[in-house]
Amino acid sequence: CFKTAPTRVREMLLKVLENLKEEEFKQFKWYLQDSDIVSRIPRSRLEKTDMLDLVDLMLQTYGQHAINRFVLQLLCNFFMFHWR
């Protein structure tokens, strides 16, 4: 079955988030609210967000095209910082 680009991006982001441990997921959400790379997402919108909702929130906040550039950079920076 053919998938649209937004569907592929959503699935990719979800797979990355699903591989995070609970504490790593919490730290990643913190990074989203305190990042210089992308627009910050307000803490109130992130506090009780699960993985599925976070993927949708990131797409709404950053848009389809920006998510490819900026959020992937954010993920790289997060993992580089987290696993030093």
Residues 37, 70 contacting (CB under 8 angstroms): yes
| Superfamily of structural domain 5-82 | Death Domain, Fas (1.10.533.10)
pLDDT at position 82 is 63
Task: Render each residue's pLDDT in the chain as its tens digit; 84 residues.
Answer: 445 566 777 888 888 889 889 998 998 888 888 766 667 888 899 989 999 999 999 888 887 777 767 666 777 777 776 665
Give the pLDDT of residue 41: 85
Could you tell me how far CA 51 lies from the centroid of its own chain? 9
pLDDT at site 51: 95
> What per-residue confidence (pLDDT) applies to 63?
79
Q: Residue 21 corresponds to which tokens in the numbers above?
A: 């441990």
Q: Where are the domains of the chain?
A: 5-82
Q: Which pLDDT does position 62 carry in this prediction?
A: 80
3-class DSSP string for 6-43: HHHHHHHHHHHHHCCCHHHHHHHHHHHHCCCCCCCCCH
Note the pLDDT of residue 37.
61
Q: What dihedral do alpha carbons 64, 24, 21, 70 form, nearest 10°?
A: 20
